[in-house]
Structure 1
Amino acid sequence: MGFPETYAANPERYQDAQFRRCGKSGIQLPLISLGLWQNFGGADVFETGRATLRRAFDRGVTHFDLANNYGPPYGSAEENFGKVLRTDFASHRDELIISSKAGWDMWPGPYGIGASKKYLVSSLDQSLKRMGLEYVDIFYTHRPDFDTPMEETASALAQIVRQGKALYIGISSYSPDRTRIMHDLLAAEGVKLFIHQPSYSMLNRFLEQGLLDTLGELGVGCIAFSPLAQGLLTNKYLNPGADKTRVNSGDGSFSEKLLSEKNLTNVRALNEIATKRGQSLAQMAIAWALRDERVTTALIGARNVQQLDDSLDALKNLAFTKDELTEIDKYAVDTPEIDLWRSVNSR
């Protein structure tokens, strides 16, 4: 086995990079962040993921989003990211925002899921070991846990910050009301709620139903995940004979119901608008998710360098005319079945 190719970061990586302030904080995040779910696990080709991470950093992406159970198998995305940190990014750690999460199932038994202090603290300890880090920049409670008192969750998150294991705290898929409660509980602990991670796309507009206003009022940042609606807002399903591999993948993130004729009709119409703008559908979808400056960053996935480059090229055209937005609104219809998290964040 040969030695890995030495990585030298692009010296002009910040020349065209675009950042946006995260709520009322001192941190700016890149307009597009890279998530490592379903793309960087042990079942994937390591060098493909490594090349994608390198390319992202070379193009000014400084924020990498992980979670304890990203893979597959669980934990392997953090392990692989840790390898890249050691081989390529060791001298760039202070240029990076690295996040992890805990909330969904991670190990057997009652202490490997939820938002208890036992689970959150032990899960982060495991994540730090997998990545070889002393701290993460952002640690999230990955979802609301209605069986755990929010006071306990807030106490655990505050303890994590006080111990120096995370610099900032985030939540994901919380309703506006529960977001406000968590914000106040953390404030009582002397910790600022830094960021919220909701699902948001042209076909999932739940964020606009009070949550974005709440985040703006509280000064909390917003990182929108799944801006491509689990891949529906790409060119993959535009043609009748489209490959349905994702539908049959078994990960539960893409249902056959999403390919209804109504949804596909809307997607094709949106694609025509994107073509007129000189963008791919995916590029327009990302740009649209960023049109409100209260959305700090859009979180994308990429299976290879080519997909990454296509998504990052959305930044070349972020402006929309009023007429374009009016036309988009005809087809950017909120579709509840796309939001797999709605039953959680609407409570």
Structure 2
Amino acid sequence: MEFLADSKRYDSMIYNRCGRSGLKLPAISLGLWHNFGGVDSTENGRAMLRRAFDLGITHFDLANNYGPPPGSAEEMFGKMMKQDFLPYRDQMVISTKAGYYMWEGPYGEWGSKKYLVASLDQSLKRMGLDYVDVFYSHRPDPNTPLEETMAALDLVVRQGKALYVGISSYDAEQSNEAIRILKELGTPLLIHQPSYSMLNRWIEDGLQDVLDEHGVGSIAFCPLQQGLLTNRYLNGIPEDSRAKKSSGFLQEREVSEDVIIKVRMLHEIASSRGQSLAQMALAWVLRGGRVTSALIGASRISQIEENVKALDNLAFAEEELEEIERILG
């Protein structure tokens, strides 16, 4: 059945300018890190992508190794592009990354020009695209000169394979240098993708200042701390949670009694605001306008719908922020 997007999809979504660029991103973006791989339900993935787009989410974030198996999230997304989204391609922002292990041998990960350019070529084939909107260096490489990694990003823009470039998980000093190199090359850095949440605030220690100074946007991944900042952990660790799975990013040891106590207290503040904990956590990441977009993951449509409703109440009273600071300590 042909997909016809909701005609009112742009009415309630908020779109924020990405740094000082001409590009706007939805305040909530959808990541395909989990639940869109070859081991997952294609129909569920398709339903989530359709619903996200109908809610005004125009930005879809991937990476070469997303799956499992690696590459399969891009393949699945490529099928959905062909089936549902080709008429809407120019209304979408599609990003991918390279940096983590993807194939055998010395050229299958990190930040060399050989790996980054080859990886993007593979990603474009998997997704059936002529170009991506944003291509990221997924992580800094301690053994490759930053000049080479940034030159690769500059090259793919000049080749027409990407419109903009980004970096992910670079610290403040590395980001500052990357910004300088790219500016000299003539391809300005559009965006940084760091992990950021109420329980993971490392970007406040310098990185945000660097991005603000240079007019670089940011998109926060894991804003719900892999589900920890939802109502799932209010009574401890559920048996089917990521913290219980050996393959999960969230480790059981991270979910200490002290953390659970904080989560319960934050849940009470959210309730007083008429929000779920997840909605408040997203609103908090977006507070003050320093973060362009919050990047969510989802395993079902209802999670996407709940998260987008965070935008109904983005304002915090000064007392609420003070109380949150006291809880987070």
Contact 2:237-2:244 at 8 Å conserved across structures: no
Match of 1:114 among 110, 115, 128: 110
Residue 332 of structure 1 and its aligned partner are, at CA, apart by: 2.7
Whole-Å separation in 2 of the counterparts to 1:242 and 1:157: 42
SS at match of 2:287: coil
Residue 52 of structure 2: aligned partner: 56
Contact 2:194-2:218 at 8 Å conserved across structures: yes
Contact 2:33-2:297 at 8 Å conserved across structures: yes
Contact 1:237-1:243 at 8 Å conserved across structures: no
**1:217-232 → structure 2 map (5 Å cutoff):** 217-232=213-228
Residue 147 of structure 1: aligned partner: 143
Whole-Å separation in 1 of the counterparts to 2:82 and 2:237: 43
Whole-Å separation in 2 of the counterparts to 1:125 and 1:324: 47
Residue 310 of structure 1: aligned partner: 306
The one-character-per-residue Cα deviations of 1:129-187 (angstroms, maximum 9, x if unpaired) are 00000000000000000010001101111111100000000000111111010011111
Find out whether 1:249 has 2:245 as its counterpart.
Answer: yes
Residue 156 of structure 1: aligned partner: 152
Whole-Å separation in 1 of the counterparts to 2:301 and 2:309: 12
Whole-Å separation in 1 of the counterparts to 2:9 and 2:58: 10
Whole-Å separation in 2 of the counterparts to 1:250 and 1:84: 30
Match of 1:213 among 191, 209, 216: 209
Residue 18 of structure 1: aligned partner: 14
Residue 254 of structure 1 and its aligned partner are, at CA, apart by: 1.0
What amino acid does structure 2 have at the position aligned with 1:99?
Answer: S
Whole-Å separation in 1 of the counterparts to 2:312 and 2:142: 42
Match of 2:96 among 94, 100, 112: 100
Whole-Å separation in 2 of the counterparts to 1:112 and 1:248: 30
**1:262-277 → structure 2 map (5 Å cutoff):** 262-277=258-273
Residue 45 of structure 1: aligned partner: 41
Match of 1:203 among 199, 202, 217: 199
Whole-Å separation in 1 of the counterparts to 2:23 and 2:236: 44
Contact 2:236-2:260 at 8 Å conserved across structures: no
Find out whether 1:326 has 2:322 as its counterpart.
Answer: yes
Whole-Å separation in 2 of the counterparts to 1:191 and 1:241: 45
Whole-Å separation in 2 of the counterparts to 1:166 and 1:240: 43
Residue 301 of structure 1: aligned partner: 297
Residues 241 and 86 (structure 1), Cα distance of their counterparts in 2 relative to 1, 3 Å cut = closer
Contact 1:201-1:289 at 8 Å conserved across structures: yes
Residue 86 of structure 1: aligned partner: 82
Contact 1:236-1:243 at 8 Å conserved across structures: no
Aligned residue pairs total 329
Residue 175 of structure 1: aligned partner: 171
Residue 7 of structure 1: aligned partner: 3
Residue 116 of structure 1 and its aligned partner are, at CA, apart by: 0.3
- Aligned residues: CA RMSD: 1.0
Structure 2 unaligned residues grouped into runs of 5+: none
Find out whether 1:66 has 2:58 as its counterpart.
Answer: no
TM-score by length of 1: 0.93
Contact 2:61-2:96 at 8 Å conserved across structures: yes
SS at match of 1:302: coil
Whole-Å separation in 1 of the counterparts to 2:106 and 2:232: 39
Find out whether 1:285 has 2:262 as its counterpart.
Answer: no
- Report percent identity of matched pairs: 59
Structure 1 unaligned residues grouped into runs of 5+: 334-347
Whole-Å separation in 1 of the counterparts to 2:236 and 2:255: 10
